[in-house]
Chains A and B, each alone.
Chain A
Amino acid sequence: MKLYRIMAVSRRVFQDVVNDKRTLAMLFIAPIFAMTVFGLAFSGDVEDVNVIIVNQDQGFAPPMGNTTYLSKTIISHLDTKVVNIKYMDNPTTARQEVVDGKAYALILFPENFTENAVLKSRNSSYPDSAEIMIQGDDSITNIKNAILKTVSDAVSETMTDEGISPSLKIISDPVYGEDAEFIDFFVPGILAFVVFLLTTLLTLITFVGERSNGTLERVLASPVTEGEIVAGYALTFGLLGMIQVAFLLLVAIVFFNIMIVGNVLLAFLTVALLALVSLSLGILLSSMAKRPEQAIQFIPFVVLPTFLLSGIFWPIQAIPQWLRPLSYLVPPTYAVDACRAVMLKGWGLDRIWPDILILLIFAVLFLAMATWSLKRGKK
């Protein structure tokens, strides 16, 4: 490998993109377009959200009869399709689980929950002090809403069952994502999605062109090696990916007023890695097409799995369970997850490294396969 040859290839690819105003426009306008259109339109049903219940309710013991526990009735009414419940005793350790991302929310019933509720129902001048505390990861808006809805449904069902009408308060105390809106949740996803999609398609189409107009052959007849070609493309598209991210974030901050709490440089790193995976995929696919028109036919196979499975527009929790394993085979899944954790939760490399590592493995694997496919093409 010679650096000057890699640089020559990289520069050539860059000039090619920059010279073509249409491609350039697509690289920067498509993301904004996608952000605007999809950002307004999406929501999904949420299932299997991990929550932790800490029930400190001491119940209410009337002078005669058994002690009643209103909390237990409410818990029995929680929709277990939506939430996976785990019980814990210590609110501090439970909260830590949410902080660590092992659960999305902590639902806390305080000691005198039933007592306060019963007293209130007997005497309307009694203060509204029967409270359920929800401390959640609110950065993912539709999950937050799903948890809130499930709890309030359970509460109203309980009240109908028991024939009492205490005013129960649900207090939400977010761990992450205070004030997060759907657009905040959505932007990290769109970042990964557009970079993945555009990089894959652009390499696919340019490479099919290189194969059919003789330029690839001319370059292969020169001292430039297959590895140097792939490296040259990688350099340019990695860089372009980062420029796209910078531009998209700028627009998102200025016009959509999105929230970023973490270190954006980590988002850049993530997306650059994803770009490497994408361009390799483009080169691999290009070996299966003889003409650019044939390459176009691959688009659905690239777009659909990513679109549906990688958690871009709705969280993976909203994907049917049997499909979920496939999500983990789609590289953008990890980029979406990492970008979201960085931008909404402010997580650092110490927390997102598993995502980065997997992306890195994907990138190395795919780059090697792309190089191999170029070598095999000589056969």
Chain B
Amino acid sequence: MELETEYAIQTSSLSKEFSGFKAVDNLNLSVKKGEIYGLLGPNGAGKTTLIKMLCSVITPSAGKAHILGKSIPDGNISSQIGYMPQETGVYLGLTVEQNLKFYGRIFGIENDEIMKREDKLLKFVDLVNWKHEMAENLSGGMKHRLSLACTLLHQPQLLFLDEPTVGVDPELRVSFWDYFQDILKQDTTILITTHYMDEARHCDRIGFMQHGHLIAEDSPRVLMEKSGKDSLEDAFLEFSNRDKSPAEKSQGGVSQ
């Protein structure tokens, strides 16, 4: 199916089983083009598994997904998406610059163009002085910054960012979010996971995820209203409680 659609991501009953365990369970998700969508949920909720399926890194056990209007995995949209894995996904044995060059070359970008974009991105993630340093010598947060730069280099239309701000200091986190807002104006779509609730507020819409499915989904303001709480944390706990079977109610909680 190839329709010109307003949706960047559309899944229907998408599931992933790992030897009997359902990490993602009959999940229906729709993300509009130009939207920034935040996936929130406790550790093990299935956020990373979902993103990997949407990036064709793993194959779904059941269900369908359309990315940028094309069904995956045969849709051939890989050059339009950018995936920032939860593990940093940079080559520790290469320098900062070599990493960026590699992630440019595999998309067939010309060398001159790579250099131009590289300079801009290094400024943005504040690694200009580390250009020739080995990635293994960077601090944890710097590795995440490099990882983000690698994801952005080929200027994808749709970004999957799995906890992009982990370990990044507050000042840079603010500039990250400014940048995200910036590229959203250029019709980019972002699916982002985070455990920082203050960041989640910046999202157009938020999906609360638990046990492999969405338990609530809306704009941050509406979610808080619907739950009658005044913070996203409490809103999540409220929805989580409503979702749980009575037997489960005694245990559980959100991380962070």
Residues from chain A with a CB closer than 8 A to the CB of B7 are none
Residues from chain B with a CB closer than 8 A to the CB of A16 are 91, 93-94
A217 to B83, CA, bound (A): 9
A5 to B52, CA, bound (A): 22
A200-229 with Cβ < 8 A to chain B: 209, 212-215, 217-224
Please report whether the interface of chain A is mostly helix, strand, loop or mixed according to DSSP.
Answer: helix
Interface residues on chain B, size class? 20 to 34
CB closest chain-A residue, reference B59:
A378
Chain B positions 83 through 108: 1 when the CB is less than 8 Å from some CB of chain A, otherwise 0: 11111111111110010001101111
A72 at interface by CB-CB < 8 Å: no
Q: Do B108 and A12 have beta carbons less than 8 Å apart?
A: no
CB closest chain-B residue, reference A210:
B91
In angstroms, how far is the closest chain B Cβ from the Cβ of A26? 14
A217 to B86, CA, bound (A): 10
Please report whether the interface of chain B is mostly helix, strand, loop or mixed according to DSSP.
Answer: loop
In angstroms, how far is the closest chain A Cβ from the Cβ of B141? 16
B52-107 with Cβ < 8 A to chain A: 52, 55-59, 78-79, 81, 83-95, 98, 102-103, 105-107
Q: Do A379 and B85 have beta carbons less than 8 Å apart?
A: no
Chain A positions 1 through 39: 1 when the CB is less than 8 Å from some CB of chain B, otherwise 0: 010110111011001100110000000000000000000
Chain A interfacial residues counted at CB < 8 A: 27
| Cross-chain contact of A8 among B58, B78, B106 (Cβ < 8 A) | B106
Residues from chain A with a CB closer than 8 A to the CB of B160 are 221
Q: Do A220 and B106 have beta carbons less than 8 Å apart?
A: no
Residues from chain A with a CB closer than 8 A to the CB of B150 are 218
Residues from chain B with a CB closer than 8 A to the CB of A11 are 102, 105
Q: Do A213 and B106 have beta carbons less than 8 Å apart?
A: no
A19 to B96, CA, bound (A): 12
B134 at interface by CB-CB < 8 Å: yes
Residues from chain A with a CB closer than 8 A to the CB of B86 are 214
Residues from chain A with a CB closer than 8 A to the CB of B108 are 2, 4-5, 223
Given A8-B106, A19-B134, are A213 and B88 neighbors across the interface (CB < 8 Å)? yes
Residues from chain B with a CB closer than 8 A to the CB of A4 are 105, 108
Q: Do A9 and B52 have beta carbons less than 8 Å apart?
A: no
CB closest chain-B residue, reference A23:
B93
Q: Do B91 and A12 have beta carbons less than 8 Å apart?
A: yes
Q: Give A residues with C-beta under 8 Å from B.
A: 2, 4-5, 7-9, 11-12, 15-16, 19-20, 209, 212-215, 217-224, 378-379
